[in-house]
Structure 1
Amino acid sequence: MFDRQSPFLEIVTMGKGIVVSADSNILTKVKPLLENKTREDIFVAPFVFGHSLYYIPDCNRLKKLPMPDDFNFYIKEGKEIHDLYKISGFENAIQYDVNHPRPDVIVIYAMYNNKIVAIAGASADSNLMWQIGIDVLPQFRNKELVTSLVSNLAIMIMELLHPI
């Protein structure tokens, strides 16, 4: 489905489950090294690098948060998001690729003095799993933008995926 550099080794964990995907010649070598290991043991193995941690929100604790004062907030969905691709500096939040296999689905962004200063964006990695990315310009960090944008975007995603 996605282009992979060969050889490849990919490891995903969720809860107590671990899934390993690899080229067949690599899999035969790493399988004995990974069997019966904990998630923590696997990710400190000397041949595993470049890993990223992702979190699944606790729906019972997730709540809408007030947006910080002094900023204006906007939402874009679907192809409307492509307008934001003209603005550089938010590579963690949006794909900058209209043909990306994991498309940007919804974003919420903050403006200050008619300038975009923060973007939280969600891409659909699968029908059930979406990913949120966030970028805030350096001079606007530590102003509660990240917490508000990500929490509110997570709620918006839940509402899209599981309408009441």
Structure 2
Amino acid sequence: MTYREIRQTALRQSAVDCGCRPEDFLQERPVIVESAPNRNARKYLDLPFVCDLVSYGSNVVASIDGRYRELVAGYLERFPAEHCFETPALHVLDDAFRPHGMRVWYMAEYFLPDPAALRQYGCPYPLRLLGPRDFAGLYLPAWSNALCEKRKELDVLGVGAYDGERLVGLAACSADCDGMWQIGVDVLPGARRQGVAAALTSRLTGEIFARGKVPFYCCAWANIKSARTALKCGFRPAWAEVTVRPVLSIPVL
């Protein structure tokens, strides 16, 4: 697949998730659509959205509960696309939703692989290809980025780094939608800074492509080490997303 084909796959999936058209993400002006459930959306999304903002760089597509159209339209008209995903602008959005019992919650950047930049990396530890049966005893805090206990049925493939029989690093992917599998990676503290994350991620990326799926990678803005792993392995920033949710559904830290 070319990068253009990979990006088109992602645009189509984002259109399913948001309830819009793929070309809506390429407009110069903001696009607002009403969110609705869709069985083909990414499995972990809680649809319909109160408000979900997505940008592939050209504009912002807002998938919303129609009751908040005026509120969201005012926000998108006030700020350029790139500032809608950062403070201080986000404080304005958060303050506007707070009287309705809503707050800004998820903020993330998503990466897609560029085939021209992909390469395989090695590390000091042997790597093993893993499947769902191998994950049974691994739903532990140490592997919470690679695996998701709440959605075990989506964890379909992984690559482990082993020091003898001890697992020291794990990259795994979840079949979040029909055409795209999301990569997560964890490395134990004693095995870090040895290229393990890049070795695991690059190997898993190749295995996902070999199965006819598009890998994608997600991390928070400030997770610099995770973003560096993605970039090193040939992933490129593709889209940003911010989600508003009811206060009662936000866990207290």
Tell me how far 1:127 sits from its aligned partner: 1.9
Would you say 1:56 and 2:112 are equivalent positions?
A: yes
Give the gaps of 5 or more residues in structure 1: none
| Correspondence for 2:62 | 20
- Alpha-carbon RMSD across the aligned residues, in angstroms, is 2.7
Would you say 1:137 and 2:199 are equivalent positions?
A: no
Asked if structure 2 preserves the Cα contact closer than 8 Å seen for 1:63 and 1:155, the reply is no
- Distance in 2 (CA, whole Å) between partners of 1:125 and 1:38 is 30
Give the helix-richer structure, 1 or 2: 2
Tell me how far 1:27 sits from its aligned partner: 3.1
- Distance in 2 (CA, whole Å) between partners of 1:129 and 1:30 is 29
Q: Which has the higher contact order (CA 8 A, sep 6+)?
A: 2
Query: Could you report, residue by residue, the CA deviation over 1:6-26 in whole angstroms, capped at 9, with x for unpaired residues?
Result: 973222223536432222222
| Correspondence for 1:155 | 206
> Identical aligned pairs, as a percentage?
25
Secondary structure of 1:89's match? helix
State the aligned residue count. 157
Report the TM-score when normalising by structure 2: 0.54
- Distance in 2 (CA, whole Å) between partners of 1:4 and 1:155 is 30
The amino acid across from 1:61 in the alignment is A
Matches within 5 A, 1:109-148: 109-148=160-199
User: Relative to structure 1, is the Cα distance of residues 151 and 7 closer, same or farther in structure 2, using a 3 angstrom cutoff?
Assistant: closer
Report the TM-score when normalising by structure 1: 0.79
Give the gaps of 5 or more residues in structure 2: 1-36, 38-43, 94-103, 214-253
Tell me how far 1:99 sits from its aligned partner: 5.1
- Greater shift in the superposed pair: 16-25 or 121-130: 16-25
The amino acid across from 1:16 in the alignment is S
Tell me how far 1:82 sits from its aligned partner: 3.5
Tell me how far 1:36 sits from its aligned partner: 8.6
- Distance in 1 (CA, whole Å) between partners of 2:152 and 2:195 is 32
